[in-house]
Amino acid sequence: ADGSLRYVLLLPGTSFGRLSNSTPQDLVGAFDGLLRTDTTYTRAAKKLLRRAGVPTGAEIMIVGHSLGGMTAMNLASDVEVCATYRVSHVIAIGSPIDSKRPADHTTRVISLVNKHDVIPGLDGRGPASPHDIPESWVELAWLDESYDYPLSHAPQAYSDALRGEFTHFRDQVNKLISDYDGEVVGNQPYMLRDK
């Protein structure tokens, strides 16, 4: 929009094949990401940013679904990451992130939650929870037709909701990330491994 070069890191959620596999997106990694900030997934993502040549001081937005959203918040809470890059936005989709906080108070956190999805509640947030989200965060939550887990947690369910009945939420998010509008000048597919 303004001619500046910005970066977007997209982080997928858990890959269910086996309890533990050679990627940081296995079930073991999911529990690790919920409980800790320094995980195999965050370390692999930091290595990826370096290998992709994202320059020091670059503005980045990190977007993730499920475990990817937890990892996005874990990266944003990492002082080293925030000293290297300007994490402008985190968008967490169907992710239990309410107990996590970014290291840079100016990082804009956007959480998208299908209320039928049980995964965002794994951080213990609820009526008796000690985790109130900061006022600066934007949490957009809805009830849609995907009642049952795992359908309610699927990326496609979130996509369908934001393209259908809840386009006003999509429009709201697009306004919040409008600095990232513009021409895409590069694309780097990747595969993360534990080692």
* Strand boundaries in 15-151, DSSP class E: 59-65, 86-93, 108-114, 138-142
Query: Which CATH architecture does the domain made up of 6-180 adopt?
Result: 3-Layer(aba) Sandwich (3.40)
How do the pLDDT tens digits run along the chain, 195 residues long?
Answer: 588 999 999 999 887 665 566 777 766 766 676 777 888 889 999 999 999 999 999 999 999 999 999 999 999 999 999 999 999 999 999 999 998 999 999 999 999 999 999 989 887 765 556 667 899 999 999 998 877 888 899 999 999 999 999 999 999 999 999 999 999 999 999 888 776
Contacts of 58 (CB under 8 A, 6+ apart): 5, 6, 7, 85, 86
Sorted by sequence, the CB contacts under 8 Å of residue 155 that are 6+ apart come out as: 13, 65, 93, 94
Domain boundaries, the chain: 6-180
